[in-house]
Protein backbone atom coordinates (compact mmCIF):
# COMPACT_ATOMS: atom_id res chain seq x y z
CA UNK A 1 0.00 0.00 0.00
CA UNK A 2 2.62 2.51 1.13
CA UNK A 3 4.90 1.27 -1.60
CA UNK A 4 2.16 1.77 -4.17
CA UNK A 5 1.58 5.33 -2.90
CA UNK A 6 5.28 6.15 -3.10
CA UNK A 7 5.38 4.65 -6.58
CA UNK A 8 2.42 6.85 -7.52
CA UNK A 9 4.15 9.91 -6.10
CA UNK A 10 7.21 9.32 -8.27
CA UNK A 11 5.01 8.80 -11.31
CA UNK A 12 3.12 12.00 -10.71
CA UNK A 13 6.30 13.98 -10.11
CA UNK A 14 8.06 12.59 -13.16
CA UNK A 15 4.91 13.20 -15.20
CA UNK A 16 5.48 16.90 -14.71
CA UNK A 17 9.24 17.14 -14.63
CA UNK A 18 9.61 20.86 -15.22
CA UNK A 19 7.19 21.74 -12.46
CA UNK A 20 8.64 19.23 -10.00
CA UNK A 21 12.14 20.41 -10.85
CA UNK A 22 11.33 24.07 -10.26
CA UNK A 23 9.61 23.25 -7.00
CA UNK A 24 12.62 21.23 -5.90
CA UNK A 25 14.93 24.08 -6.86
CA UNK A 26 13.60 26.08 -3.93
CA UNK A 27 14.49 23.28 -1.54
CA UNK A 28 17.81 22.61 -3.29
CA UNK A 29 18.89 26.22 -2.94
CA UNK A 30 17.67 26.33 0.66
CA UNK A 31 19.52 23.21 1.77
CA UNK A 32 22.61 24.08 -0.24
CA UNK A 33 22.82 27.53 1.32
CA UNK A 34 22.41 26.18 4.84
CA UNK A 35 25.20 23.66 4.31
CA UNK A 36 27.48 26.07 2.47
CA UNK A 37 27.03 28.87 5.01
CA UNK A 38 27.72 26.62 7.96
CA UNK A 39 30.67 25.00 6.22
CA UNK A 40 32.20 28.38 5.39
CA UNK A 41 31.78 29.73 8.92
CA UNK A 42 33.20 26.48 10.35
CA UNK A 43 36.08 26.80 7.93
CA UNK A 44 36.65 30.36 9.06
CA UNK A 45 36.66 29.30 12.68
CA UNK A 46 39.15 26.51 12.11
CA UNK A 47 41.34 28.85 10.12
CA UNK A 48 41.25 31.68 12.67
CA UNK A 49 41.67 29.48 15.71
CA UNK A 50 44.52 27.66 13.99
CA UNK A 51 46.25 30.88 13.13
CA UNK A 52 45.92 32.05 16.71
CA UNK A 53 46.95 28.76 18.25
CA UNK A 54 49.87 28.39 15.88
CA UNK A 55 51.41 31.30 17.75
CA UNK A 56 51.15 29.40 20.96
CA UNK A 57 48.30 28.68 23.27
CA UNK A 58 47.30 29.74 26.77
CA UNK A 59 49.26 32.96 26.59
CA UNK A 60 48.95 36.10 28.66
CA UNK A 61 50.54 39.31 27.42
CA UNK A 62 51.60 42.02 29.82
CA UNK A 63 51.93 45.51 28.32
CA UNK A 64 52.67 48.83 29.82
CA UNK A 65 49.57 50.94 29.85
CA UNK A 66 49.34 54.33 28.24
CA UNK A 67 48.59 56.64 31.14
CA UNK A 68 46.37 59.68 31.03
CA UNK A 69 47.73 63.10 31.95
CA UNK A 70 45.96 62.90 35.32
CA UNK A 71 47.39 59.47 36.04
CA UNK A 72 50.87 60.69 35.18
CA UNK A 73 50.47 63.56 37.62
CA UNK A 74 49.04 61.20 40.22
CA UNK A 75 51.82 58.66 39.86
CA UNK A 76 54.58 61.26 39.43
CA UNK A 77 57.87 59.83 40.50
CA UNK A 78 56.51 56.38 41.17
CA UNK A 79 55.79 55.44 37.59
CA UNK A 80 58.22 52.65 36.76
CA UNK A 81 56.69 50.95 33.68
CA UNK A 82 57.52 47.33 32.95
CA UNK A 83 61.01 46.20 33.93
CA UNK A 84 63.14 43.22 33.20
CA UNK A 85 63.17 42.57 36.91
CA UNK A 86 59.38 42.11 36.80
CA UNK A 87 59.89 39.07 34.59
CA UNK A 88 62.35 37.60 37.06
CA UNK A 89 60.04 38.34 39.97
CA UNK A 90 57.11 36.65 38.27
CA UNK A 91 59.26 33.59 37.65
CA UNK A 92 60.11 33.45 41.28
CA UNK A 93 56.60 34.08 42.57
CA UNK A 94 54.79 31.83 40.09
CA UNK A 95 57.13 28.97 39.22
CA UNK A 96 54.38 27.16 37.27
CA UNK A 97 54.32 29.97 34.70
CA UNK A 98 56.74 30.37 31.85
CA UNK A 99 57.76 33.96 31.28
CA UNK A 100 59.49 35.54 28.32
CA UNK A 101 60.29 39.26 28.25
CA UNK A 102 60.00 40.77 24.78
CA UNK A 103 61.15 44.09 23.48
CA UNK A 104 62.44 45.35 20.19
CA UNK A 105 64.17 48.22 18.54
CA UNK A 106 64.42 49.29 14.93
CA UNK A 107 67.90 48.71 13.70
CA UNK A 108 70.08 47.53 10.91
CA UNK A 109 71.84 44.23 10.54
CA UNK A 110 74.83 43.90 8.24
CA UNK A 111 76.68 40.91 6.92
CA UNK A 112 79.57 41.95 4.74
CA UNK A 113 78.11 44.26 2.15
CA UNK A 114 74.54 43.17 2.54
CA UNK A 115 72.29 44.72 5.09
CA UNK A 116 68.73 44.70 6.27
CA UNK A 117 66.79 47.24 8.28
CA UNK A 118 64.15 45.81 10.53
CA UNK A 119 63.08 45.01 14.02
CA UNK A 120 65.46 43.36 16.38
CA UNK A 121 63.78 41.54 19.21
CA UNK A 122 65.29 40.91 22.59
CA UNK A 123 63.84 37.92 24.38
CA UNK A 124 64.60 34.82 26.43
CA UNK A 125 64.83 31.08 25.59
CA UNK A 126 61.22 30.49 26.65
CA UNK A 127 59.87 32.57 23.78
CA UNK A 128 60.50 29.92 21.13
CA UNK A 129 58.37 27.20 22.66
CA UNK A 130 55.66 29.53 23.90
CA UNK A 131 55.02 30.97 20.49
CA UNK A 132 55.45 27.63 18.83
CA UNK A 133 58.24 29.05 16.71
CA UNK A 134 61.44 27.03 16.47
CA UNK A 135 64.86 27.30 14.84
CA UNK A 136 65.27 25.29 11.65
CA UNK A 137 69.07 25.48 11.85
CA UNK A 138 71.33 26.01 14.82
CA UNK A 139 69.67 26.98 18.09
CA UNK A 140 67.53 29.62 19.72
CA UNK A 141 68.71 31.94 22.49
CA UNK A 142 69.87 29.98 25.54
CA UNK A 143 70.10 30.62 29.26
CA UNK A 144 73.84 31.02 28.89
CA UNK A 145 73.25 33.77 26.30
CA UNK A 146 71.03 35.53 28.81
CA UNK A 147 73.35 35.13 31.78
CA UNK A 148 76.49 36.18 29.94
CA UNK A 149 74.97 38.90 27.74
CA UNK A 150 76.19 36.96 24.76
CA UNK A 151 76.10 38.72 21.46
CA UNK A 152 74.29 35.84 19.75
CA UNK A 153 71.65 36.44 17.10
CA UNK A 154 68.97 34.19 15.65
CA UNK A 155 67.71 35.18 12.20
CA UNK A 156 64.28 34.83 10.59
CA UNK A 157 64.39 32.74 7.44
CA UNK A 158 63.92 35.73 5.12
CA UNK A 159 66.68 37.69 6.83
CA UNK A 160 69.05 34.74 6.59
CA UNK A 161 68.37 34.51 2.88
CA UNK A 162 68.81 38.25 2.29
CA UNK A 163 72.06 38.41 4.19
CA UNK A 164 73.62 35.08 3.29
CA UNK A 165 71.76 33.68 0.28
CA UNK A 166 72.20 29.95 0.13
CA UNK A 167 75.23 29.98 2.42
CA UNK A 168 74.73 28.73 5.96
CA UNK A 169 74.78 31.72 8.30
CA UNK A 170 75.54 29.69 11.42
CA UNK A 171 78.74 30.90 13.09
CA UNK A 172 79.00 33.91 10.78
CA UNK A 173 79.53 37.39 12.09
CA UNK A 174 77.03 40.19 11.60
CA UNK A 175 76.89 43.78 12.81
CA UNK A 176 73.81 45.20 14.48
CA UNK A 177 73.27 48.89 14.61
CA UNK A 178 70.57 50.77 16.51
CA UNK A 179 68.58 53.25 14.42
CA UNK A 180 67.39 54.97 17.51
CA UNK A 181 64.62 53.75 19.63
CA UNK A 182 62.29 56.66 19.08
CA UNK A 183 62.86 56.89 15.40
CA UNK A 184 59.64 56.79 13.49
CA UNK A 185 59.15 53.49 11.74
CA UNK A 186 59.52 54.04 8.06
CA UNK A 187 58.17 51.23 5.99
CA UNK A 188 59.65 52.31 2.72
CA UNK A 189 63.20 52.37 3.99
CA UNK A 190 62.61 49.13 5.80
CA UNK A 191 61.48 47.35 2.66
CA UNK A 192 64.08 48.92 0.42
CA UNK A 193 66.73 48.28 3.00
CA UNK A 194 67.08 44.78 1.63
CA UNK A 195 69.11 45.98 -1.32
CA UNK A 196 72.85 45.92 -0.97
CA UNK A 197 74.52 49.28 -0.99
CA UNK A 198 77.87 49.05 -2.61
CA UNK A 199 80.66 51.54 -2.79
CA UNK A 200 79.93 52.80 0.66
CA UNK A 201 82.90 53.04 2.89
CA UNK A 202 83.00 50.87 5.97
CA UNK A 203 83.20 53.19 8.91
CA UNK A 204 82.76 52.25 12.54
CA UNK A 205 79.60 53.74 13.94
CA UNK A 206 78.58 54.48 17.44
CA UNK A 207 76.18 51.84 18.69
CA UNK A 208 77.30 49.18 16.28
CA UNK A 209 78.16 45.76 17.71
CA UNK A 210 79.35 42.46 16.32
CA UNK A 211 77.11 39.46 16.80
CA UNK A 212 77.46 35.80 15.92
CA UNK A 213 74.60 34.04 14.15
CA UNK A 214 73.66 30.99 16.23
CA UNK A 215 70.42 29.95 14.55
CA UNK A 216 67.94 30.42 11.73
CA UNK A 217 64.22 30.17 12.44
CA UNK A 218 61.76 28.00 10.54
CA UNK A 219 59.56 29.63 7.91
CA UNK A 220 56.25 30.69 9.46
CA UNK A 221 54.77 33.29 7.16
CA UNK A 222 52.63 36.27 8.03
CA UNK A 223 50.00 36.35 10.70
CA UNK A 224 48.73 38.64 13.44
CA UNK A 225 49.99 41.60 11.50
CA UNK A 226 53.63 40.67 11.31
CA UNK A 227 55.98 38.74 9.11
CA UNK A 228 57.54 36.15 11.38
CA UNK A 229 60.26 35.41 8.88
CA UNK A 230 61.65 38.93 9.17
CA UNK A 231 62.24 38.70 12.92
CA UNK A 232 65.72 38.94 14.42
CA UNK A 233 66.28 37.69 17.96
CA UNK A 234 68.99 38.58 20.46
CA UNK A 235 69.08 37.85 24.22
CA UNK A 236 67.08 40.28 26.38
CA UNK A 237 70.02 41.01 28.61
CA UNK A 238 72.28 41.75 25.65
CA UNK A 239 69.72 44.12 24.25
CA UNK A 240 69.36 45.97 27.54
CA UNK A 241 73.11 46.23 28.02
CA UNK A 242 74.18 47.22 24.51
CA UNK A 243 71.24 48.98 22.94
CA UNK A 244 68.62 50.18 25.38
CA UNK A 245 70.68 51.21 28.34
CA UNK A 246 67.68 50.75 30.59
CA UNK A 247 65.97 47.66 31.95
CA UNK A 248 62.56 48.75 30.82
CA UNK A 249 61.00 46.24 28.50
CA UNK A 250 58.06 46.41 26.16
CA UNK A 251 56.06 43.40 27.21
CA UNK A 252 56.00 39.99 28.78
CA UNK A 253 54.64 36.85 27.23
CA UNK A 254 53.45 34.41 29.86
CA UNK A 255 52.38 30.84 29.33
CA UNK A 256 49.76 29.32 31.63
CA UNK A 257 49.88 25.52 31.76
CA UNK A 258 46.14 25.10 32.29
CA UNK A 259 43.69 26.84 30.01
CA UNK A 260 41.05 26.99 32.74
CA UNK A 261 43.34 28.95 35.04
CA UNK A 262 44.10 31.77 32.62
CA UNK A 263 41.61 34.19 34.16
CA UNK A 264 42.84 33.33 37.62
CA UNK A 265 46.49 33.99 36.74
CA UNK A 266 45.57 37.10 34.85
CA UNK A 267 44.09 38.53 38.05
CA UNK A 268 46.91 37.28 40.31
CA UNK A 269 49.55 38.74 38.02
CA UNK A 270 47.81 42.06 37.95
CA UNK A 271 47.70 42.19 41.75
CA UNK A 272 51.29 41.10 42.03
CA UNK A 273 52.56 43.67 39.54
CA UNK A 274 50.55 46.57 40.96
CA UNK A 275 51.99 45.71 44.34
CA UNK A 276 55.51 45.58 42.93
CA UNK A 277 54.96 48.90 41.21
CA UNK A 278 54.17 50.60 44.45
CA UNK A 279 50.44 50.64 43.87
CA UNK A 280 50.71 52.11 40.42
CA UNK A 281 48.38 50.36 38.00
CA UNK A 282 50.39 51.00 34.86
CA UNK A 283 50.13 47.61 33.20
CA UNK A 284 47.59 45.88 31.09
CA UNK A 285 47.20 42.09 30.87
CA UNK A 286 45.87 40.75 27.64
CA UNK A 287 44.39 37.26 27.76
CA UNK A 288 44.74 35.16 24.63
CA UNK A 289 41.89 32.95 25.80
CA UNK A 290 39.63 35.98 25.84
CA UNK A 291 40.76 36.85 22.38
CA UNK A 292 39.85 33.35 21.23
CA UNK A 293 36.52 33.72 22.97
CA UNK A 294 35.87 36.99 21.17
CA UNK A 295 36.70 35.37 17.85
CA UNK A 296 34.38 32.50 18.62
CA UNK A 297 31.61 34.86 19.65
CA UNK A 298 32.00 36.80 16.44
CA UNK A 299 31.81 33.59 14.49
CA UNK A 300 28.66 32.64 16.33
CA UNK A 301 27.13 35.90 15.21
CA UNK A 302 28.06 35.01 11.65
CA UNK A 303 26.69 31.55 12.09
CA UNK A 304 23.35 32.83 13.33
CA UNK A 305 23.01 35.56 10.73
CA UNK A 306 24.12 33.49 7.75
CA UNK A 307 22.36 30.38 8.98
CA UNK A 308 19.22 32.44 9.54
CA UNK A 309 19.30 33.75 6.00
CA UNK A 310 19.83 30.23 4.70
CA UNK A 311 16.96 28.87 6.74
CA UNK A 312 14.71 31.61 5.41
CA UNK A 313 15.68 30.48 1.91
CA UNK A 314 14.70 26.97 2.90
CA UNK A 315 11.41 28.22 4.25
CA UNK A 316 10.71 30.02 0.96
CA UNK A 317 11.39 26.71 -0.74
CA UNK A 318 8.74 25.20 1.50
CA UNK A 319 6.24 27.86 0.48
CA UNK A 320 7.02 26.89 -3.13
CA UNK A 321 6.12 23.30 -2.30
CA UNK A 322 2.87 24.36 -0.69
CA UNK A 323 1.98 26.52 -3.65
CA UNK A 324 2.52 23.79 -6.18
CA UNK A 325 0.80 21.18 -4.05
CA UNK A 326 -2.29 23.37 -3.83
CA UNK A 327 -2.32 23.63 -7.62
CA UNK A 328 -1.87 19.87 -7.87
CA UNK A 329 -4.76 19.19 -5.51
CA UNK A 330 -7.06 21.44 -7.52
CA UNK A 331 -5.94 19.89 -10.80
CA UNK A 332 -6.52 16.41 -9.49
CA UNK A 333 -9.83 17.01 -7.76
CA UNK A 334 -11.59 14.49 -10.02
CA UNK A 335 -8.90 11.92 -9.34
CA UNK A 336 -9.36 12.47 -5.61
CA UNK A 337 -13.12 12.07 -6.03
CA UNK A 338 -12.66 8.83 -7.93
CA UNK A 339 -10.21 7.43 -5.40
CA UNK A 340 -12.63 8.24 -2.61
CA UNK A 341 -15.52 6.68 -4.54
CA UNK A 342 -13.72 3.40 -4.97
CA UNK A 343 -12.61 3.18 -1.36
CA UNK A 344 -9.75 5.57 -0.53
CA UNK A 345 -10.13 6.71 3.05
CA UNK A 346 -9.41 10.31 3.91
CA UNK A 347 -6.10 9.36 5.47
CA UNK A 348 -5.13 7.51 2.29
CA UNK A 349 -5.61 10.72 0.31
CA UNK A 350 -3.78 12.71 2.97
CA UNK A 351 -0.88 10.30 2.90
CA UNK A 352 -0.74 10.34 -0.87
CA UNK A 353 -0.26 14.11 -1.13
CA UNK A 354 1.96 14.25 1.91
CA UNK A 355 4.25 11.65 0.39
CA UNK A 356 4.34 13.63 -2.83
CA UNK A 357 5.45 16.82 -1.10
CA UNK A 358 7.87 14.89 1.10
CA UNK A 359 9.35 13.22 -1.96
CA UNK A 360 9.98 16.65 -3.46
CA UNK A 361 11.73 17.78 -0.31
CA UNK A 362 13.76 14.58 0.10
CA UNK A 363 15.03 14.65 -3.48
CA UNK A 364 15.51 18.41 -3.29
CA UNK A 365 17.29 18.00 0.04
CA UNK A 366 19.58 15.32 -1.39
CA UNK A 367 20.50 17.42 -4.40
CA UNK A 368 20.87 20.42 -2.09
CA UNK A 369 23.43 18.54 0.01
CA UNK A 370 25.50 17.88 -3.09
CA UNK A 371 25.20 21.46 -4.30
CA UNK A 372 25.97 22.76 -0.81
CA UNK A 373 29.15 20.71 -0.47
CA UNK A 374 30.31 21.63 -3.96
CA UNK A 375 29.67 25.33 -3.44
CA UNK A 376 31.25 25.31 0.03
CA UNK A 377 34.48 23.86 -1.35
CA UNK A 378 34.24 26.19 -4.33
CA UNK A 379 33.99 29.16 -2.00
CA UNK A 380 36.81 27.83 0.18
CA UNK A 381 39.08 27.69 -2.87
CA UNK A 382 37.97 31.15 -3.92
CA UNK A 383 38.91 32.58 -0.52
CA UNK A 384 42.20 30.72 -0.56
CA UNK A 385 43.06 32.37 -3.88
CA UNK A 386 41.69 35.81 -3.08
CA UNK A 387 43.27 36.35 0.34
CA UNK A 388 47.00 36.10 0.88
CA UNK A 389 46.47 34.87 4.42
CA UNK A 390 43.37 32.83 3.57
CA UNK A 391 45.31 29.85 2.36
CA UNK A 392 43.92 27.56 4.97
CA UNK A 393 40.34 28.88 4.96
CA UNK A 394 38.89 25.64 3.67
CA UNK A 395 35.23 24.81 4.01
CA UNK A 396 34.61 22.44 6.87
CA UNK A 397 31.60 20.22 6.20
CA UNK A 398 30.10 19.05 9.46
CA UNK A 399 27.92 15.93 9.22
CA UNK A 400 25.53 17.33 11.85
CA UNK A 401 25.03 20.43 9.69
CA UNK A 402 24.09 18.23 6.75
CA UNK A 403 21.74 16.23 8.91
CA UNK A 404 20.12 19.34 10.33
CA UNK A 405 19.64 20.93 6.91
CA UNK A 406 18.25 17.74 5.44
CA UNK A 407 15.92 17.07 8.35
CA UNK A 408 14.73 20.64 8.24
CA UNK A 409 14.08 20.37 4.50
CA UNK A 410 12.06 17.20 4.92
CA UNK A 411 10.24 18.82 7.83
CA UNK A 412 9.45 21.81 5.63
CA UNK A 413 8.17 19.44 2.94
CA UNK A 414 5.87 17.71 5.41
CA UNK A 415 4.77 20.91 7.10
CA UNK A 416 4.01 22.81 3.91
CA UNK A 417 2.56 19.73 2.24
CA UNK A 418 0.23 19.18 5.14
CA UNK A 419 -2.20 21.98 4.35
CA UNK A 420 -2.74 21.00 0.70
CA UNK A 421 -2.97 17.33 1.72
CA UNK A 422 -5.57 18.09 4.37
CA UNK A 423 -7.44 20.16 1.82
CA UNK A 424 -7.43 17.21 -0.57
CA UNK A 425 -8.60 14.76 2.08
CA UNK A 426 -11.48 17.03 3.10
CA UNK A 427 -13.01 17.10 -0.38
CA UNK A 428 -16.54 15.85 -0.77
CA UNK A 429 -16.37 12.75 -2.98
CA UNK A 430 -19.61 13.45 -4.85
CA UNK A 431 -18.59 17.03 -5.64
CA UNK A 432 -14.99 16.13 -6.42
CA UNK A 433 -16.10 13.50 -8.93
CA UNK A 434 -18.03 16.06 -10.94
CA UNK A 435 -15.47 18.89 -10.57
CA UNK A 436 -14.91 20.59 -13.89
Partner 1 sequence: MALIILRNIRKVYKTGNLEVAALINLTLNIEQGEFVAIIGQSGSGKTTLLDILGCLSHPTSGEYWLDGDNVHLLPDSQLTTIRNKKIGFIFQTFHLLPRKTALENVQLPMMYARASRAIQHDRASELLTMVGLKDRLYHYNNQLSGGQQQRVAIARALANRPALLLADEPTGNLDSQSGNDILTVFEQLHQQGQTIIIITHDPLIAQRAERCITLLDGKIMSDEMAHPSSATKG
Residues making contact with partner 1 (CB under 8 A): 1, 4, 11-12, 15, 334-335, 338-346, 348, 428-430, 433
Question: Taking the complex as a whole, how short is the minimal distance between the CB of residue 424 and partner 1, in angstroms?
Answer: 15
Expressed in angstroms, the distance from the first to the final Cα of the chain is 29
| Shortest distance (Å) from residue 19 CB to partner 1 | 14
Q: Any residues with CB less than 8 A from the CB of 296 and at least 6 apart, and which?
A: 45, 49
Handedness of CA 291, 102, 66, 60 (dihedral sign): positive
User: For residues 11 and 184, which CB has a smaller minimum distance to partner 1 in the complex?
Assistant: 11
Whether the CB-CB separation of 182 and 244 falls below 8 Å is answered with no
Nearer of residues 145 and 335 to partner 1, judged by Cβ: 335
Q: For residues 224 and 51, is the Cβ–Cβ distance under 8 A?
A: yes
The strand ranges marked E within 37-185 are 59-64, 98-111, 114-123, 135-138, 152-155, 173-178
| Shortest distance (Å) from residue 340 CB to partner 1 | 7
In 3D space, the residue among 105, 55, 100, 45 whose CA is nearest the CA of residue 228 turns out to be 55
Cα–Cα dist 239/241, whole Å: 5
Using the minimum distance from each CB to partner 1, give the nearer residue, 256 or 336.
336
**Minimum CB distance to partner 1 smaller for 366 or for 429:** 429
Is 6 or 212 the residue whose CB approaches partner 1 more closely?
6
> Residue 430 Cβ, how far from partner 1 at the closest point, in Å?
4
Q: Which is nearer to partner 1, 18 or 342 (CB)?
A: 342
Partner residues linked to 202 by β-bridges = none
Alpha helices in 213-252 (DSSP H): 236-239
Q: How far is the CB of 50 from partner 1 (least distance, A)?
A: 55
Instruction: Rank residues 91 and 346 by Cβ distance to partner 1 and give the closer one.
Output: 346
CB of 435 to partner 1, least distance (A): 11
Cβ proximity to partner 1, 296 vs 348, nearer residue: 348
423 Cβ partners below 8 Å, 6+ apart?
A: 326, 329
Cβ partners under 8 Å of residue 147, min gap 6:
237
In angstroms, give the least distance from the CB of 343 to partner 1. Answer: 2
Q: Please tell me the distance from the alpha carbon of residue 125 to that of residue 304, in angstroms, as a whole number.
A: 43
Rounded Cα gap, residues 70 and 66, in angstroms? 12
Task: Supply the minimum distance, in Å, between the C-beta of residue 346 and partner 1.
Answer: 7
Q: How do beta strands 208-217 and 135-138 pair?
A: antiparallel
Amino acid sequence: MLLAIIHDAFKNLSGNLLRSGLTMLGVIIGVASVIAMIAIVEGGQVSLVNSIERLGTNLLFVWKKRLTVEERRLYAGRWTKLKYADALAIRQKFPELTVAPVDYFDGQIKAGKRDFSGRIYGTSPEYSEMRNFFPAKGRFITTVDIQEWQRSVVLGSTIAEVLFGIESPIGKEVKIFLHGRNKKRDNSTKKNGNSTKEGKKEQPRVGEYRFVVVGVMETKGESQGKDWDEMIFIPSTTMIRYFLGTDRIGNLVIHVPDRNRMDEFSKKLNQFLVQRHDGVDDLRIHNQGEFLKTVEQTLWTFRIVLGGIAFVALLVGGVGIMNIMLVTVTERTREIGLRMAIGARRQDILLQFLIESTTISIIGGGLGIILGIVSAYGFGNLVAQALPGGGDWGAVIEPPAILIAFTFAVGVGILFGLFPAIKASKLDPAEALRYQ
